[in-house]
Structure 1
C-alpha cells in the first residue's frame, strides 16, 4: 500500500495522532504529528524506529553538547592556552581559536561535529561572549553541581556554525523571530539557565533580552529558571529597550517584536531583568 494523509487515533505506545501510514503484507508504518516513525508488525509489536523522521534532528533543538563535553572542551582549551593565559580568555577567544577552525573544516557547528546525530536540548544557556570563558564554565558547573543528571546544553557558540559575520547572520536572518535558532531551541528546552559575569551586563545585549522575553512567553518563569554568576550589575537601571547588538538589524528585529506588546508586558520584562541581575544563588 501507499502512504495516506488521513488522521488516525493514537496507536498503542504512542500518544500522538497519526498523520500518514503505509501498509505491507507484514507490517504497518505510521508517522505521528511529532514526526516519529513507528512500525507495527503482525504480532502487534510496536517499535519506534526514529525520532529523526522528516529531519527532526536537524532542527536547532538538537544542536546541543553534553555537560561532560563542555567540561572536556574547557580542559582542552586550558591545556592549549596554558593555565595563566587561559584565565584571560573570553568566549570569543575560544570561538576564534578553537570553534571556528572546526566549523570551517567540517562545514557544521561544533555541537554537530561532536554529536553528528544530534543531541536534544535540555538546558538553554543565555550569556554573552564578553565573559571569561573559564568563569562561564564554572558557573555552569555551579548550576548543576547537585544534579544527578547533568543536562544537554544549548550554547550558541557551539550550536551555530561559527565563521564570518555573514555566515552567522545567515543562520539568524529569518522572516519571523520565532523561527530563529535561539527561540526554536529555547522552546524545546526544559530549563533556562542565566549565566552572569563580572565584565558585561548580559542585559545590555539585545539577544539576552530577547531570550528573557521568550522564556517568559514559553512559561519558564519562575520554576524552570536557574541564575548563576556574580551580581556585578545588580544596580544597573537600563531596560530592554536600551539593549545593544553587534548587528543593528538584530536590534531592530528584536525591539520591533517587543514593541508589538502592550506597555505592561515591556514593564514586566524590565522587572524580570532587574530580578535576574540582582538575585543571589
Structure 2
C-alpha cells in the first residue's frame, strides 16, 4: 500500500465521525507524530510504500480517534505557541484561545525584561513555558494543586529548557503576601459550570480532567474570586492580572473584580468574537 492509498483509507474511516477538514488535519497530525512528515513530505512521498508497522500504528490511532480520544493524548504531544508540549490525561490540552492570552501578555510587555510572573492553575505549564520563552529573562513561577499536573509541567519546562519554578499549592487557599511578589499574574482556571456539560464535546468530557474544567453552578467564579483576592496583594502596583474566562459570566466577573479593588478592568474578545479574557490593573 502506498502512502497516498493509506491516507485515502484513513480518511474514509474517519469521515463518518469527523468533518472532512478535521479528518484531513488528523491524518496530517498522525503522520507528523509517527514519522515527522510535513505536508510537503506527505505530497512528495504519496507514491511510496508504507510499511506494515506504520500502517498498523495508523490504524491503532484511528481506532482510538473513533472512540473520541483526543489525538494529543494518543501521542502525548501538543503544539502550543510554536512549542511542542507533553500532554497526558492529567492536564488539559492547550487551546488556541489560551495562545491568544499569551499573545496579549507578550504584546503588553514588549521590550521589558526581568519580569516576575506567576501562572496559577498551570496544568501542563503551557502558559508558563511560553512566557518564559518569550519574555526576556523573566522569573516564572507555575502553581497547581495536582501532583500529576505538576510532574507534566516540570517535564515540559525541562524539555523546552526554560526556567520555570513549578510548585504545588492550592490556588483556592493561597495566602496573600505582605509585599508584592509579581509583575504579571495569569490564570486559566476551571470555569465551565456543571450545567454546561451537555454542550461540551465528547472528546473533552470523556478524556480531559474534570477537576481542571468544571466548577459548581452555585459558584461559577470560585477560582476567580480566590485569584483576584490573592493577586490584588501579590501584584506590583500598575501591573496587571490576566485571566481566561467563561463568556457567560464575564459581566459578573468584572463586577466582582471591581469590588475587590481592581481598576481598568478590560474584557476582551477572542478571534471568534466571544468575551474570553479579562485584564485588570492594580493601581496602588
TM-score by length of 2: 0.27
Instruction: Please report the TM-score for the alignment, with normalisation by the length of structure 1.
Output: 0.28
